[in-house]
Amino acid sequence: MRIRICLVVPCFAALTAGAEPLYTLTILPEWLQASAINNAGQMTGVMPVPGGSHAFLFTNGDVRDLGALGGTRSFGYALSDNGMVTGDVAPANRPGHAFLYAGGTMRDLGTLPGGSSSIGLGVNDTGQVTGSATTAADRTHAILAGYGGMRDLGTLGGDVSYGIGINDAGHVVGASTFGGDASRYHAFVYRDGVMTDLGDFGGAASFAQGINDRGQVIGAVVDTAQVAHSFLYTDGTVTMLGDFGGRYTGTWDINNLGQVVGYSTFDDDIDSRHGFLYTDGRLLDLNALVDPALGWTVATALGINDSRQILGYACRTSDVCRPVRLDPITPPPVPEPGAPTMLLTGVILGLGAMTAKKNRTGSDKRPVPKRRYLKSAQPPAHPHRLPAPPSGSANKQC
């Protein structure tokens, strides 16, 4: 089934001039719980249907219901740049199985031998899927699945592992327990048949959340006080992304430009979070990059593509929240000035500089957006992206 919808695109006004990119805000339908965006601008997630909920593929205003293989529930968690979707589906009231949607058809990827359930959390352009599945011993292990069956990626020595992200080279990232401590996770990278422990980065636990085609890895580090920090791992070098001053910072996605999106809180309350964009070594509040006159506060950012489009969730009030797409505003090209124009421009700039020096009030800086506490800004729950925000109002939408 396909549905055609019209997007609501609020007007925007120019903000204070600055080096940061500016974004327009597109409000998506409230019934589309989007979870991922690809380089074509397509999105996937879950939407309500009579008697259940189904995964969808959103393409240029068209919403395609991906079905549920005869069951009532499916959920799209990730999609490739060529429009393949993975997630989980519960056909005929069985436990959930990972699926791959490609070429207009949803295919059940099954389970590991002797296992009962599986889930897909990442997919690349060749149709390789990562996620997790139960084993015959009822343990949960990271998997690599697709057209060639399902492979158990093992663990770092513990009982549990999750595959969360995959790039086009087939490299998988995720988290695994190790040794005899079932509560401690380490981030890993799986490539060429080997699972490599990335360590704890100085914390009590670490989790890898995504990997781009350049091999850059993003994730989270949790310290002994249960404070969550985010990292970017590039060729053996770890960069901590910073925070907005609060207790929780989490990453959701990275594009091939090395730009990262996620959320960070201003205090110990998860509801104080704002979505962020990490670019060029800076952690930027997305609410400083959109027109505040629109009245929406971006609470989290779930995905970013190579065109710098961002998928997130925003709220107008604590009870009115929607999925949103942020699109970068490209300034028009400036013609090359001639000599007289350059001379006149120099005079104007000189006068402007003197005026600014005389009347400097700090207005050249982008104003800090007003913080809001948004109790219903939670995106659709993702089963194994850790650490997850606290539950409570996880799926409350306007």
Query: How does pLDDT run across 350-370, given as a tens digit for each residue?
Result: 333 333 333 433 333 333 444
pLDDT score, position 148: 87
Query: Residues 264-287: what's their mean pLDDT?
Result: 92
pLDDT score, position 140: 96
Residue 186 has pLDDT above 50, yes or no: yes
Q: How far apart are CA 143 and CA 203, in angstroms?
A: 26
Radius of gyration of the chain (CA): 22
Other CB atoms within a 10 A radius of the CB of residue 252 amount to 27
Using 50, 70 and 90 to split pLDDT, how confident is the model at 305? very high
Residue of higher predicted confidence among 7 and 286: 286
Please, which residues have CB within 8 angstroms of residue 5's CB and are 6 or more apart in sequence?
Answer: 29, 61, 62, 63
pLDDT by residue (tens digit) across 32-61? 999 999 999 999 999 999 999 999 999 998
Residue 67 has pLDDT above 50, yes or no: yes
Using 50, 70 and 90 to split pLDDT, how confident is the model at 293? confident
Please, which residues have CB within 8 angstroms of residue 390's CB and are 6 or more apart in sequence?
Answer: 270
pLDDT score, position 234: 96
Residue 222 has pLDDT above 50, yes or no: yes
Reference 321, options 12, 27, 37; nearest CA is: 27
Using 50, 70 and 90 to split pLDDT, how confident is the model at 271? confident
DSSP 258: S
Residue type at position 279: T
pLDDT score, position 8: 42
| Token pair listed for 148 | 């060639």
Q: What is the mean pLDDT of the chain?
A: 82
Residue 253 has pLDDT above 90, yes or no: yes
pLDDT by residue (tens digit) across 125-158? 999 999 999 999 999 999 999 988 999 999 999 9
- The overall pTM is greater than 0.95: no
Residue 374 has pLDDT above 60, yes or no: no
Lowest mean pLDDT among 16-20, 181-185, 212-216: 16-20
pLDDT score, position 331: 59
pLDDT score, position 181: 72
Please, which residues have CB within 8 angstroms of residue 348's CB and are 6 or more apart in sequence?
Answer: none
Residue of higher predicted confidence among 187 and 291: 187
pLDDT score, position 347: 33
Residue 12 has pLDDT above 90, yes or no: no
pLDDT score, position 369: 44
Would you list the DSSP string of 263-324? EE-SSS-GGG-EEEEEETTEEEEGGGSS-GGG--EEEEEEEE-TT--EEEEEEEETTEEEEE
Q: How far apart are CA 204 and CA 223, in angstroms?
A: 5
| Token pair listed for 124 | 């690349």
Query: Residues 260-273: what's their mean pLDDT?
Result: 90
